[in-house]
Amino acid sequence: MRLRPISIDHKSNVLNDREKALRQQEFDDTTIKDLRIDYKKKLIKPYDLEVRIAELEKRGFKDPVKMITSSPAILGYAMENIDGKIADLEKRGFKDPVKMITSLPAILGYAMENIDGKIRLIEQVSAQFGNGTDAAPTIIERELGILSTKIDKLWTLVRVLCESNQQPSPKDIHALLFAKLEYVVLAHSKQSSEKSLEECLKTIKKLKKIGLTKGDARSEIAALLDEDPDSKTIQRYVRGYPLAQNEE
């Protein structure tokens, strides 16, 4: 009687070896799962992973494993592209692109045209308040959330800032950036013709405390637009976030 040969699943062994190599680099199971998806269930070769980590460290990234864990897509970028992004950011006046990318790895996927648009937008705010305001790259480096925020939200916030009679502090910008946009629009638009950023921020806190829903906030915005069709802030908001018929 002939014995059947033992079947060895070579692909499975390779995959297990690569998983083991990733765990040795302190990648968690969630990241390994994400990498399986990105690499079509093949996973990156251990040698390629070691080379990539070494290349990132050489460029000043202190914790490449943490970066890859937060954004596995980094492994899909050629080092030439990463070098190019660092150089492009430096050309635009950013002082520490490596720190920026470390804090927000998604920057590697942002088109420079989009970043340039946000620089111009922040420059508009700076011009509104004169010499006392930091340069746009400095503001963005301090508040990286600007780069990941939808451009329509930013333009609406710029309108709010430009109509206010107070130069925004870094704390003010942070508060506006991470507040619900509907709260910002409501808080700003409900004021009299003399707009105050300080009062706007106080009202935002009140709206948050009472838990006004987004739907109710949008209904109030629609009502305010009926009362004042020329409101530049609400017009800019609606341009990016159109109101439904039942909200008008």
pLDDT in tens, 98-107: 999 999 999 9
Going by pLDDT thresholds of 50, 70 and 90, the confidence category of residue 131 is: low
Assess whether 242 and 154 both reside in one domain.
Answer: yes
In a domain, 136, yes or no: no
Per cent of the chain over pLDDT 70 is 84
pLDDT average, residue stretch 173-189: 95
Whether the predicted pLDDT of 156 surpasses 80: yes
For residues 64 and 52, is the Cβ–Cβ distance under 8 A? yes
In a domain, 109, yes or no: no
In a domain, 62, yes or no: yes
In a domain, 72, yes or no: yes
In a domain, 129, yes or no: no
Assess whether 66 and 156 both reside in one domain.
Answer: no
Among 76, 99, 116, the domain-final residue is 76
Helix axes 151-163 and 232-240, enclosed angle (nearest 10): 180
Assess whether 243 and 154 both reside in one domain.
Answer: yes
pTM: 0.76
In a domain, 122, yes or no: no
As a dihedral over the C-alpha atoms of residue 51, residue 52, residue 58, residue 63, rounded to 10 degrees, the angle is -120
pLDDT average, residue stretch 82-95: 97
Return the pLDDT at 8: 38
CB atoms within 10 A of CB 194: 8
Domain that includes residue 227, residue range: 149-247
Among 61, 76, 91, the domain-final residue is 76
Assess whether 70 and 159 both reside in one domain.
Answer: no
In a domain, 157, yes or no: yes
In a domain, 57, yes or no: yes
**Structural domains counted in the chain:** 2
